[in-house]
Structure 1
Amino acid sequence: MITRIVLLAAMIAALVAFSPTAGADEITTTDITFTRSDGAATTGTVHAPVGATGLPGVVLVHGSGDGRGPQYTQVAAAFARQGIVALRYEKRTEDYTPAHRDYSLLADDAIAGVAALRERPEVDPARVGLWGLSEGGWVAPLAASRSAEVAFLVVVGANAGAPAAQQAWANETRFGAAGVRGSMIDILGRNAIRVSAAAGLFAQAYYDPAPVLSAVGQPVLAIWGEKDRLTPPGDSLRGYRDAFDRVGKSDYTLRTLRDAQHGAFTTTDGFDKGADLVPGYLELVGEWVKGLPGSANKHSDEPAAQAHSVTALAPQAWWESTTALFVLFLGTVLALLGYALTGFARAHRLPRAGVARLLVTTAGIGILGTLAQVLYVASTKATSFGPLLFGRTLPWLALQVIAVCAVCSLGYLVARREAVLEGAGKGARVRWALAVVGGIGFTLWALYWGLLLP
């Protein structure tokens, strides 16, 4: 008899241990399919407490990227443990590139997600809202402003300004934190973004979220990490508060979480990301959502301190347009190549070619080096840049020295023209002119990109 009881208890324990809803803090997941705004089918996963019915729900709107990061599953499960049914859906990645993305289309996809979640038996259809992270902080408010079916809006790491200005601030922040100073971040970094935007390589560069925020009628909970290094947390909180106050909106809560990074995860310096969400974040969202409408009383934390504020990026003037810069680049390169190639003809060689050769060599290295630095600023997320000297990275300092050598060589060739060309034939004079034209072009190039500035 005792043996049978022991065996029965063991069987029950095994069934509980291998139950699909046990052991996961009583969370169940269900895969669903629904129709996007363009009529195409997409998939998603609903995270809900076991046996849920009539609970509030939230649709997760992705940050930049393909939306497949594990953090979305982690957040969805955490919300479910707070008693909020969460839908994590597949992000639209067709025609989604650094050069192009359609916030309007992404917002319509989020609205389709809301419609799908409202049909689930686990939720109260009148209490389904949106949660947007980072780029989702531009998309989710747009969706909320368009649909009365969205009951509330929660954003994390959202930006109250344009993407281009935000990216410039993020670049300046990480360079500044590493000790970099001067033209590499003041000129090179900002101009790299402005050129990318003008060339159509920076999607939604000058998107203005302020009119959309003013049109959001739902209760809003906006959260920033005190140590956010991707979105300016203080400026963004002020921007949200100003947009709401201009239209007399009072059902908003703006919060700053201590020791939190961009996505409300733990961090030591804002650049690293811990494995866990910062303490208090989930409780804040859970209590606010479940307490609506009473929890949406007007409240704003003090804006987080920032090392520097966001500065808007001015659109390019005609003389620095993509076409003008390309013409300058092409003309300079052709002049330098022309000097190099004409050297194969003895009749075109300068009697005293040392300084001209130095000019062409340094200008060529300077142009190629500048392009490499522009690509580096645009593509890397590094926060350590190796040894610094006078607040400059060694590659940038080397390029600045090279640029000074090129300009000095140009000055010598022009000032000492008669001495350099003494006894030179017509071909050599043409070659001298090519070197000077290339030098002038490089000087303009170096000034624009900050090589000749502190």
Structure 2
Amino acid sequence: MRLSFRRGISALVAVVGTVVLAAAPVPAGVARADGHRSHGRVQDGAGLVHQEVSFRGGDGLVLHGTVLSTATAQRAPARPGIVLIGGSGPGPREEYRQEAEAFARAGITTLVYDKRTVRYSRLDRDFGLLAADAVAGVRLLRGRPGVDPHHVGLWGFSEGGWVAPLAAARSSDVGFVITIGGPGHSPLRTQTWNLTTHLRHRGITGSFLPALEGPAAQLVASTGLFPEGDFDPLPALRRLRHTPVLALWGDHDRQVPPRESAQIFRRTLAGAGNRHVVVRFLRDAAHNGHRTSDGFDRIAGPLYQGKRLGALAPGYVHTLTSWVAAVAAGHPPRSSTASAPPQPVSSAPAAGAWYAWLPPVLLLLGFAAYPVSGALRRIARRPRPGPARGAALRRWLAGLGLVAVTTAVLCPLAVYVVGDGGAAGPVVAGRPSGWLVAQALSVSVVVLTGVTVRRRRNGQRTPAGSRPHVRPGVARATLMVTAVLFVPWALWWGTLRP
């Protein structure tokens, strides 16, 4: 572009303005005073209009999404709107396209947006911030032509089942709440049930499952490796006194305990005085409300990141859209609860203890003291405090003890951190291979401890005068005390149990 000297000042201002707009995080479009932007409208072959939008989340981060509606939505009487809140993970909008299109075809203007990637990861999660993002989406829909601002609600799937009630409890702009696979327990207890259910499906039995539910869960809670692990969903539910709620679960939900969660939703909301709570179970549906045979597979539907999503379960869309239509008409259905399907196993309470990290740390320090002291002695060229008899055995004991504790802790810890039962490794004899290694190491530590103690006693029974009596060093005594304390810890942790 060429500039004339007569228009130099104005052109410079224009160029600077162009650069600023190009660097801005919000793409160009039709801007509004509240920071929302709308982009080009595209109508597909099915008669749905897709409009790209951008809006600012709870901390000002720009989020991007799509508003779907029918081609006649703006010319028809005002219709309800719904904002979709995805489950855990990166949650791009494409994962929920089936739901968004189905709801839009039924006359519900739908916003589906990409979940934030800033301040959201496996080790960093804030449900309050996610709730603020959802409320910002509700405000966007409330200001759109053809949308009834009094009937814009939230749909929360899985993790969204914690976020949606929290958002509705904080904002009167939310007209109704729908959850699919909403958890009634804390995230840590829910995830523990999810992991153990999938591990059982893989054929894992024995002590690994109790270890995962008990001491490993306590360790995860005490170290903060599971963000929002102790989040309590009940306070938010108690505040939904007048907000209509539709709570749905698949009858083959294997990621959230459906029967327990449904009981918690019904009992808590009824106790809060909410008379418009409908609890339903979708037939032949998995955790996400899609078709399944057993809860672990998905039948039909599109592929997402190489995995089958499954088609929407029969009756899912009708149940949701007819309920929303009744709410929008000013007649929210009265509270009712369908019969819950059987739940494979009950969930285990995940009571955290701040000191859960202390025993393994002390054991690691106790086993490490012997080789560390030996290395320091060699560096300082100090003589050994006593004869070398049994030194090699003690070195083996210290080394195996370190590896045994580390392996026993990391095996279940990896399952929690990765969030996938496959992290436990291949299954051998009904146990994860890593756990079998930890069990073999634990047995070796016990055997070496017994051999070391026996040799020590035999040495003490040597006739007087045949050898000088030497007091054991601090490192040697620490090693033996640690090895003895390892036994009850390994029994509690599970590596010395079948």
Match of 1:261 in 2: 286
3-state secondary structure, aligned to 1:60: strand
Answer with 435-444 or 122-131: which moved more: 435-444
Alignment map for 1:395-406 (pairs within 5 Å)? 395-406=434-445
Match of residue 446 from structure 1: 490
Alpha-carbon distance in structure 1 between the residues aligned to 2:253 and 2:195? 13
Aligned pairs for 1:262-281 within 5 A: 262-274=287-299, 275=301, 276-281=311-316
- Do the aligned partners of 1:224 and 1:233 also contact (CA within 8 Å) in 2? yes
- Residue 5 of structure 2 corresponds to none
Q: TM-score, normalised by structure 2?
A: 0.79
Aligned to 1:301: 338
- Whether 2:228 is the aligned partner of 1:204: answer yes
**Matches of 1:351 and 1:253 in 2, distance apart?**
74
Residue number in structure 1 paired with 2:480 = 436
Distance of 1:416 and 1:343 partners within structure 2 = 25
How far the C-alpha of 1:160 sits from its partner, in A, is 0.9
> 1:85-133, CA deviations, whole angstroms, 9 ceiling, x for partnerless residues?
1101232332222233221222122111111101111312121111011
Q: What is the deviation of 1:59?
A: 0.6
- Taking the aligned partners of 1:26 and 1:424, their CA distance within structure 2 comes to 96
Asked if residue 411 in structure 1 is aligned to residue 450 in structure 2, the reply is: yes
User: Hey, what's the Cα distance between the residues in 2 that align with 1:342 and 1:189?
Assistant: 43
Partner of 1:45: 66
CA contact (8 A) 2:368 2:398 kept: no
> Is 1:175 equivalent to 2:210 in the alignment?
no
Does the residue aligned with 1:51 lie in a helix, a strand or coil? coil
Of residues 94, 104, 116 in structure 2, which corresponds to 1:70? 94
CA contact (8 A) 1:171 1:185 kept: no
**What is the identity percentage for the equivalent residue pairs of Structure 1 and Structure 2?**
35
1:21 is aligned to 43
Given residue 321 of structure 2, which amino acid in structure 1 is its aligned partner? G
1:62 Cα deviation (Å)? 2.1
CA distance in 1, matches of 2:409, 2:168: 41
The answer to whether the 8 Å contact 1:170/1:230 transfers is yes
**Which letter does structure 1 place at the counterpart of 2:405?**
I
Q: Is contact 2:42-2:50 (8 Å) kept?
A: no
Counterpart amino acid of 1:393?
P
Query: Within 2, Cα distance between the matches of 1:351 and 1:90?
Result: 66
In 2, distance between residues paired with 1:156 and 1:311? 22
Higher mean displacement: 176-185 or 424-433: 424-433
With over 3 angstroms needed to count, the CA separation of the structure-2 counterparts of 1:120 and 1:420, relative to structure 1, is farther
Higher mean C-alpha deviation, range 103-112 or range 292-301: 292-301
Residue 14 of structure 1: aligned partner: none
User: Which SS does the other structure have where 1:117 is aligned?
Assistant: helix
The whole-number CA distance in structure 2 between the counterparts of 1:425 and 1:49 is 93
Match of residue 233 from structure 1 = 258
Write the mapping of 1:41-440 to structure 2, written as runs, cut at 5 A: 41-53=62-74, 54-68=78-92, 70-216=94-240, 217-274=242-299, 275=301, 276-292=311-327, 293-316=330-353, 318=355, 320=356, 322-323=357-358, 325-338=360-373, 347=384, 350-352=388-390, 355-378=393-416, 379=418, 381-382=420-421, 386-389=426-429, 391-420=430-459, 423=467, 426=470, 432-433=476-477, 435-440=479-484
Q: Deviations over 1:383-414 (max 9, x none)?
A: 6964442x433432342232122113213322
Task: Tell me the distance in 2 between the aligned counterparts of 1:338 and 1:226.
Answer: 59
1:42–1:402 distance in 2 versus 1, CA, 3 Å:
closer
What's the TM-score once normalised by structure 1's chain length?
Answer: 0.86
Q: C-alpha deviations, 1:353-384, integer Å up to 9, x for none?
A: 56545533432331232243134322252469
Contact 1:114-1:149 within 8 A present in 2 as well: yes
**Is there any run of 5+ residues in structure 1 with no aligned partner, and where?**
1-18
Provide the alpha-carbon RMSD of the alignment. 2.8
Please give the per-residue CA displacement for 1:49-80, whole angstroms capped at 9, x wherever unaligned.
Answer: 11213221101112112221522223211211
Amino acid aligned to 1:309? S
Deviates more, 1:412-421 or 1:173-182: 412-421
**Residues 335 and 355 from structure 1, CA distance in 2 versus in 1: closer, same or farther, beyond 3 angstroms?**
closer
Change (3 A) 1:167 1:62: same
1:269 CA displacement: 2.5
* 1:134-182 deviation line (CA, Å, top 9, x unaligned): 1111111011112222111101111111111111111111122223223
Give the Å deviation of 1:448.
Answer: 4.2
CA distance in 2, matches of 1:238, 1:111: 27
SS in 1 for 2:214: helix
Judge conservation of contact 1:214–1:243 (CA < 8 Å) in 2. yes
Task: Pick closer, same or farther for the CA change 1:435–1:146 going to 2, 3 Å.
Answer: closer
Contact 1:157 1:233 in 2 (8 A): yes
Q: Which piece of structure 1 moves more, 425-434 or 45-54?
A: 425-434
